[in-house]
Amino acid sequence: MGLGKLLHQHTEHADAGGVLNRPRAYELFGAIAFLGGRRAAFTRVAAAARPRAGDQVLDVGCGTGYLSRILAPVVTPSGHVTGLDPAPEMIDYATRNAPGNCTYVHGEGQRLPFPDGSFDLVISSLAVHHIPVEARPQALRQMVRVLRPGGRLLIAEFRPPANRLARHVIGALSGPAMRHDPRDLLGTMIPDAGFTVESEGDLPYLLYYVRARRP
Ligand SMILES: C[S@@+](CC[C@H](N)C(=O)[O-])C[C@H]1O[C@@H](n2cnc3c(N)ncnc32)[C@H](O)[C@@H]1O
């Protein structure tokens, strides 16, 4: 059985990861896939976003809320983290486990239900490859829209291992959505949406990030 079947009941888009609606299975997968290093990996992702006390943060494709729970104490006392995911099961799970300054909202990255300029920081980890291919540019444009001028974006995605056999095994287990090099996956979508890219590169645990800013 592929990873996809374990984590969601159906997918409408063979070339995208789709909506995941099994939060407990996802948490188990996260614990196993990062070989016990999930917290360290996501702490690095959070640090790459350079969150500040007081930030209003949006986590697009928040899943179970794991990353937003890491960010929440960093932005206290006045900061807030809003997580968004299309799976009601993920939103329920995240809400049940939410710190006081986190809230979770049902929705899609390509149709963000927030006013213009509402956030200081938009972060999206391992979620762009889940958005349908044709909706990804629109999702990036929505992220620009909901950021205030000068606001920051942090996208984190998987990067395939350098080792060919390991790449093959991961591709076979995960399906097509996780086989792409993140540089190909993201292409020029981030600058095309109106962001200025400030930094990008590899992180530990087979992760890759792009940090950008709304001019
Ligand atoms: C691999 S999980 C990542 C969850 C979390 N960000 C993390 O890093 O653990 C991808 C998430 O993207 C969500 N997703 C799927 N389609 C989406 C869309 N169109 N917009 C936003 N999120 C989406 C899935 O439901 C899933 O929870």
Domain definitions of the chain by residue range: 3-213
Give residue-wise pLDDT tens across range 128-160.
999 999 999 999 999 999 999 999 999 999 998
pLDDT band at residue 29, thresholds of 50, 70 and 90?
confident
Q: Does residue 61's CB lie within 6 angstroms of at least one atom of ligand 1?
A: yes
Q: Does residue 120's CB lie within 6 angstroms of at least one atom of ligand 1?
A: no
Q: Is the dihedral of CA 166, 155, 18, 37 positive or negative?
A: positive
Mutate to test the pocket of ligand 1, among 8, 15, 20, 155 (most ligand atoms within 8 A of CB): 20
Q: Which atom of ligand 1 is nearest to the CA of 156?
A: 8
Span from the CA of 62 to the centroid of ligand 1 (angstroms): 6
Give every CB contact of residue 69 below 8 A, 6+ residues apart in sequence: 97, 98, 99, 102
Closest CA to ligand 1's atom 4: 63
pLDDT of 1 over the 50 cut: no
Q: Does residue 67's CB lie within 6 angstroms of at least one atom of ligand 1?
A: yes
Closest CA to ligand 1's atom 22: 61
Number of H helices, E strands in the chain: 9, 7
| Dist. CA 102–CA 97, nearest whole Å | 9
- The CATH architecture of the domain made up of 3-213 is 3-Layer(aba) Sandwich (3.40)
Span from the CA of 75 to the centroid of ligand 1 (angstroms): 22
Give residue-wise pLDDT tens across range 67-121.
999 999 999 999 999 999 999 999 999 999 999 999 999 999 999 999 999 999 9
Closest CA to ligand 1's atom 17: 131
